[in-house]
Amino acid sequence: MAEKVNVLVVDDQYVSRSFFELQVQMSQNYALVASLAGAEKAAAYCAAHPVDLVIMDVMMKYGADGLTCAKRIKQQNPKIRIILTTSAAEAGWIEEARRAGIDSFWYKEYSSVSLTEVMDRTMAGVSVYPDDPPNPEFGEISKADLTERELDILRELTRNLTNEEIAKALHISEFTVKRHIQNILEKTGYKNRIDLAVNAKTLGLVVHEKDRIKNGGGHRA
């Protein structure tokens, strides 16, 4: 009988982590070797124990984020397969993960492909990435109805920045920022910039890079 694939699960959310554990335990092809609530311990675990596959969430409440730690694991041991997961609809992480050599990327809330299928294909040497980014509803429209620049503006809004601060961050004029915000309000039907920011953040429509790599996790990639 073929040896089982050793799987490490990393997710700071108990419900998601339990789901991943169950998916591994239900399959005859996989063995759960550890389940961690923080990404920072993942690289050290992989260096000290036999691990074939890591299933890891991108966003972490404390410490380094999953994408940063996934890069570290790949640098230390490129043979370990990694599936990054997220419940956010942020699409910007896909290309970063590809460039880092991360094997697969799975959206928890939006993927039509099961996690088990992604695991099987990943271990077969197939890189599984979504054909299209998630397109959740946002007010009276969907995410796809917003331009890339409007999404950039929304990311900055989730940081509670002023128009002046957004303009400086994106290297555009305050007038342009104000115009984009007004356009987004008209498209979505939301009443004000606070509604935009709160709903974008709650839905995980966009995630600012500083929110992903908070707590200093990003500089160690």
Sole residue written with tokens 């601060």: 165
For the chain, domains (ranges, CATH) are: 5-134 (3.40.50.2300), 137-204 (1.10.10.10)
pLDDT digits (tens, 9 = 90+) for 165-212: 999 999 999 999 999 999 999 999 999 999 999 999 988 899 988 888
- Report how far residue 47's alpha carbon sits from residue 213's, in angstroms, rounded to the nearest whole number: 23
pLDDT digits (tens, 9 = 90+) for 17-40: 999 999 999 999 999 999 999 998
Alpha-carbon 137 to chain mean position:
18
CB within 8 Å of 15: residues ≥ 6 apart? none
pLDDT digits (tens, 9 = 90+) for 120-150: 999 999 999 998 889 999 999 999 999 999 9
- Report how far residue 33's alpha carbon sits from residue 49's, in angstroms, rounded to the nearest whole number: 9
- Report how far residue 53's alpha carbon sits from residue 20's, in angstroms, rounded to the nearest whole number: 12
Residue 212: its pLDDT value, please? 87
Residue 2: its pLDDT value, please? 66
pLDDT confidence band for 218 (50 / 70 / 90): very low
Of 133, 166, 138, 141, the C-alpha closest to 152 is: 166
pLDDT digits (tens, 9 = 90+) for 63-83: 889 999 999 999 999 999 999
The pTM of this model reads 0.88
User: Which region, left, alpha or beta, applies to residue 101 given φ > 0 means left and ψ of -120 to 50 means alpha?
Assistant: left
